[in-house]
Structure 1
């Protein structure tokens, strides 16, 4: 599953400062998600742009379903798994 692949990449980046820097620098790329996925794939992580977008939407949808009739408006950024990964990496 994509979540396991992202966790694998996150663990690797936390142990390797050069990898962490490369992943964070994808923010400045013309194609940040594609470059992020390419780095992950080069390390054996099965991460594609489509799966990355899908996992973000799935997580956001699950949060919205869990409110049981309350706050039905999504919060910006909940559906962006790439941004959440990068923020997690920057803060750890």
Structure 2
């Protein structure tokens, strides 16, 4: 399972389980929120590590960039497309 697939699955679970949602939101209050988030994911059986999460976002963004006009200088700027971590929380907080 890919990082985006794991995050989608975790998001669906958190949207249906208020306690899990609270646990994810609590990770944002930790000294190192990204590490706390990834630790919670691993605790739940999803092997998500900090650098893999960051790398997956960057790979996704690079693929999107390459697909527009060959990825040259005229490609549109895609804001936020490389940050799966932030996107997870935006979606999670929308469901509050």
The offset of 1:87, in angstroms, is 0.6
The gaps in structure 1 that reach 5 residues or longer are none
TM (normalized to structure 1)?
Answer: 0.84
Structure number with greater CO (CA < 8 Å, separation at least 6) is 1
Aligned-pair Cα RMSD in Å = 1.6
Structure number with larger C-alpha Rg:
2
Q: State the number of aligned residues.
A: 91
CA distance in 2, matches of 1:33, 1:51: 12
TM-superposition CA deviations, 1:1-33 (whole Å, max 9, x none): 222221221121111111112212322221111
TM-score (norm 2): 0.81
Question: In the alignment, does 2:75 pair up with 1:71?
Answer: yes
Name the structure 1 match of 2:14.
13
- Secondary structure class of the residue paired with 1:28: coil
